[in-house]
């Protein structure tokens, strides 16, 4: 049980946290950028305030969806990487990125065609969200690799 926690659960929780935080920050900054493109003045204090608000409010809900998406995607990546160990890092990054893309698409389908994450309504915003998922996949890969590495590597 302890091995399962260290080798799978902790890396997964870290990946979820990193992907969610990155996703929310990028979506907030994208929305602010779109506001500035139409002439709104957003001072740095307001930018920071909006980011903090979104982390608290959007993040606390979005983390559930990100957790489900990454749980499925990274588990599949882990299983596939056993057959293709040399591509393991790429598999995890692509799994994380594609899981967020699929998540946002499915959320839009379920909620009557409305994209719920405003910062992902255009290609640049979607790429940012996928980067957040890919970063989560990378964190999962690196932490698992760290835990599974022989002790001699770290000495």
pLDDT tens-digit map of 36-90: 999 999 999 999 999 999 999 999 999 999 999 999 999 999 999 999 999 999 9
Which token pair is 133?
Answer: 């998922």
> For the chain, which residues make up each domain, given as ranges?
2-154
pTM of the model: 0.89
pLDDT band at 3 (very low <50, low <70, confident <90, very high): confident
């Amino acid at each position: 049980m302890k091995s399962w926690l260290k080798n799978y659960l902790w890396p997964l929780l870290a990946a979820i946290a990193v992907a969610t935080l990155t996703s929310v920050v990028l979506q907030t900054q994208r929305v602010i950028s779109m506001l500035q493109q139409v002439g709104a003045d957003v001072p740095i204090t307001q930018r920071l305030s909006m980011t903090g608000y979104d982390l608290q409010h959007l993040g606390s809900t979005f983390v559930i969806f990100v957790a489900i998406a990454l749980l499925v995607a990274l588990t599949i990546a882990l299983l596939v990487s056993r057959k293709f160990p040399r591509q393991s890092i790429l598999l995890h990054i692509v799994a994380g990125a594609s899981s967020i893309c699929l998540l946002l698409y499915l959320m839009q389908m379920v909620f009557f065609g409305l994209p719920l994450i405003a910062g992902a309504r255009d290609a640049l915003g979607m790429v940012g969200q996928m980067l957040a998922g890919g970063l989560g996949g990378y964190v999962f890969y690196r932490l698992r690799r760290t835990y599974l590495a022989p002790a001699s590597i770290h000495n």
